[in-house]
Every structure is written in structure tokens, then in C-alpha cells.
Amino acid sequence: KRFYPKTGSHGWQHIQDVLSRAVRIKGSPLTDSEYAAILFHDCSLKNGDRATHAEDSAAIAQRQLRWFFSAYELRLITDAIRCHRASYQGMRKTWIEDLVASADRNPPCLAAIAKRSYQYAREHGMDDGNALAHVVEHVREKYGRHGYAFTNMPAPYLATYGSELKRMWSQIDNLDSATVRQLISE
């Protein structure tokens, strides 16, 4: 918990949500390696750079977990952390990489995505109007039918949320600031 703020878009609640989604996606309890990868996947964001957080978080996990896992398990954990981001363009090679990347994505719920995006924008100094506009642009760019969050979508995510994705894409096609305002107030 010391690596995460108590609140915020990447706070401790986010980690709890990712753990919960991982169990749903996997359909059974997590292994220690899966659990560790999820716990550490965003651990550098509290004091670090968002652009390099995947690599920075893997380095922290390497230092913190070296006494608890074999070299092989530690490599699985740190590789999963390195490739968890939606913008990751490489090829994921293992189940744990796919699981962490899948669980780190919100379920396809436009209201939850809009609220998180709005919160992020406000945390980074945007006023209300600019935050609303940011949400519209960001949601279309990342979560729309051809958004980068889906260009390298892990198979477990698609298997779990495929039908919900189709419904959300229809909503995003008509997204505007007024709709975002309504979504974040619900």
C-alpha cells in the first residue's frame, strides 16, 4: 500500500479493482505471481513519470520481490508489469502478461471510464469545461471502435467483455460533453 496514494485514479482502490477483475477473468484464485504482478503494476506512479511507469514499476517489483520468488517467477512478474499498458505495442507472450493487461483495463462501462478520465483531467489541473472536452477526446481515441486500447487487446479481455464492448462502442459514437456531464453525475 505504501506505493499507492489512498485516493486518485491510480490509488489503492485501482489496485483492488484490478485484483477483482483478474479473478473474474481467470475464473479461479490468483497465483502468488499473478497477485504480485498486479500489486506492483503501477507502483511507481505515486512519485514517478507516467510515460515510464511500466518499466519503473517493474524495477521496483524486481527489488522488492527478489527474496520471495525464483528468478523465473520474478521474470514472469516483471515482464507482465512491463507490458500491461493499453498503449503497449509489443507481443505479449505469457498468460500472466495477458491477465495483468486485461485486468488493468476497466470493463467496458462508459460511465466508469468517463468518471476516471474526468478525475484524471481534474487532478492534472484542467478546469471543468476542458476536463469534459478531454474526456470526449480521450475516450474516443482510447476506447472507440479503433481506439488504441483495443489495437493490442489481450484475448482474455475480449473473451470476458466482448458483448459489452459492442454496446459501449455504440455509445461512444455519439459521445459529447453534455453526455459526459450526465455520465459523471450519475
Question: What would the grid cell of residue 15 be?
Answer: 489496485
> For the segment 141-152, what is each residue's pLDDT rounded down to a tens digit?
988 988 887 777
Q: CA angle, corner 69, sides to 100 and 25, nearest 5?
A: 20
Helix (H, G, I), strand (E, B) or coil at 131: helix
Cα torsion through 62, 66, 70, 76, rounded to 10: -10
Residue 93 has pLDDT above 80, yes or no: yes
Whether the CB-CB separation of 87 and 104 falls below 8 Å is answered with: no
Give the tens place of pLDDT for each residue, 2-22: 777 676 667 788 899 999 999
Question: What is the number of alpha carbons within 13 Å of residue 21 lying toward its C-beta?
Answer: 23
Gap between the Cα atoms of 117 and 148, Å rounded: 15
Mean pLDDT over residues 26-50, rounded?
A: 91
Gap between the Cα atoms of 156 and 159, Å rounded: 5
Spatial neighbors of 144 by CB under 8 A, at least 6 apart, are 169, 172, 173
Output the pLDDT for position 170.
93
Q: Output the CA torsion 66→67→69→72 (10° steps).
A: 50
- For residues 118 and 135, the answer to whether their CB atoms sit within 8 Å is yes
Rounded mean pLDDT of the chain? 91
pLDDT value for 132: 96
Residues 46/70, Cβ–Cβ less than 8 Å: no
d(CA 46, CA 185): 27
User: Is pLDDT larger for residue 116 or for residue 47?
Assistant: 116
CA distances from 83 to 41, 67, 76, 98, 175 (A): 9, 23, 11, 9, 29
pTM over 0.85: no
Q: Specify the pLDDT at position 51.
A: 84
Q: What is the mean pLDDT of the segment spanning 147-160?
A: 85
Note the pLDDT tens digit of each residue in 99-131.
Answer: 999 999 888 899 999 998 999 999 999 999 999
Query: Letter for the amino acid at 104?
Result: D
